[in-house]
């Protein structure tokens, strides 16, 4: 991980981009989705959030994005001023051309130029005048990435952004996202259900179980991470175990038999 040359004093190194304390959220009386969750994310840090469905990943992300107006709960959230969100669907407005989508909501005279630059960065130069439906799924998601990065976010929130893409496209998107993050250095919170994706991309992987952080693992596999690496494999096994998936067919068989009886 590159260090910020501007940081010299110990005090400044303490600063966080995101601080979540004792966060509670619940959708009904029965039980909370988030139950007193604490989370800090450092500036420029890439955090992947994994968990089973219903574990509260998306609820946390939406809370950070400020999109949970109608959800009951309490706790405190500090996020930077500039927050961008990438959704699972590209959410490009079908009635705006790609450039107008990327520059959507940007103010200032250079909005279009910045949009064009962002499009070039994600490899979509020349597609400015296309309609969203003319792009492939991967291209649409790249345009969505451009739309989030053109705002120069201090925090990038991504909710399973590659979940709907095919495996090959997803791998190319991983490389692209890594490169973009290296250039722009936002803090990133990536929600994913793909353990490999989390290990490939993140500085830190956080496992969410029952609305609290159950483990917080730093990934120190260096820059080039290959699933062939034994450390990669053991990390994956460990994370899958945390999620309740045994890397072992016998265990699943036993569970099935238990469930059947």
Partner 1 sequence: MTTLLERPTAASAGPVVDKRVVRRRLGPGKRIPFSLAIGPLLLVGLWCLLSATGRLDPRTLSEPWVVVETARDLIENGRLQDALQTSAVRAFAGLGLGTAIGTLLALVSGLSRVGEAVIDGPIQVKRAIPTLALLPLLVLWLGITEEMKIVTIALAVMLPVYIHTHNGLRTIDGRYAELAETVDIGRPQFIRDIVLPGAMPGFLLGMRFAVTTALLSLVVVEQINATSGIGYMIHLASSYGQTEIIVVGLVVYALLGLAADGLVRTIERKALAWRRTLG
Q: Which is nearer to partner 1, 56 or 132 (CB)?
A: 132
Whole-number Å distance between alpha carbons of 195 and 198: 5
Would you count residue 109 as binding partner 1 (CB under 8 A)? no
Q: Does 27 bind partner 1 (CB under 8 A)?
A: no
Contact window for partner 1 (CB under 8 A) among 20-28, 33-41, 60-68, 203-211: 60-68
Region binding partner 1 by CB under 8 A among candidate stretches 31-39, 86-94, 180-188, 245-253: 86-94
Single out the residue of 22, 27, 55, 26 nearest to residue 39, CA to CA.
22
Q: Is 65 in the site for partner 1 (CB under 8 A)?
A: yes
Which of 16, 19, 35, 67 is close enough to bind partner 1 by CB under 8 A? 67
Contact between residue 164 and residue 88 where contact means Cβ atoms under 8 Å apart:
yes
HEC string for 137-150: HHHHHHHHHHHHHC
| Cα distance between residue 39 and residue 46, in whole Å | 13
Site string for partner 1, 115-134 (x = CB under 8 A): ----------------xxxx
C-alpha neighbours within 13 Å on the C-beta side of residue 176? 24
Counting contacts by CB under 8 A, is residue 91 touching partner 1?
A: yes
Would you say 38 and 20 are in contact if contact means Cβ atoms under 8 Å apart? yes
* Site of interaction with partner 1 (CB under 8 A): 65-67, 83-85, 87, 89, 91, 93-97, 104-105, 131-134, 147, 151
């Amino acid at each position: 991980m590159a260090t910020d040359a501007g940081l010299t004093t110990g005090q400044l190194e303490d600063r966080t981009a995101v601080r979540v304390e004792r966060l509670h959220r619940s959708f009904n009386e029965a039980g909370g989705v988030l139950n007193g969750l604490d989370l800090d994310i450092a500036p420029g840090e890439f955090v992947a959030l994994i968990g089973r469905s219903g574990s509260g990943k998306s609820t946390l992300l939406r809370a950070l994005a400020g999109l949970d107006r109608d959800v009951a709960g309490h706790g405190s959230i500090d996020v930077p001023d500039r927050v961008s969100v990438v959704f699972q669907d590209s959410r490009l407005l079908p009635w705006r051309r790609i450039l107008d989508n990327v520059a959507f909501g940007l103010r200032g005279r250079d909005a279009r130029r910045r949009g064009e630059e962002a499009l070039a960065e994600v490899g979509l130069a020349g597609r400015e005048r296309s309609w969203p439906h003319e792009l492939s799924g991967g291209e649409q998601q790249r345009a969505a990435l451009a739309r989030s990065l053109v705002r120069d976010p201090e925090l990038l929130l991504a909710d399973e952004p590659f979940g709907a893409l095919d495996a090959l496209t997803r791998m190319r998107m991983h490389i692209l996202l890594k490169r973009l993050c290296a250039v722009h250095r936002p803090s990133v919170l990536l929600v994913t259900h793909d353990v490999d994706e989390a290990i490939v991309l993140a500085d830190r992987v956080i496992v969410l179980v029952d609305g609290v952080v159950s483990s917080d693992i730093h990934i120190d596999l260096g820059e080039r991470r290959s699933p062939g690496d034994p450390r990669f494999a053991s990390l994956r096994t460990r994370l899958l175990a945390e999620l309740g998936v045994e890397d072992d067919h016998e265990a699943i068989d036993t569970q099935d038999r238990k469930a059947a009886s």
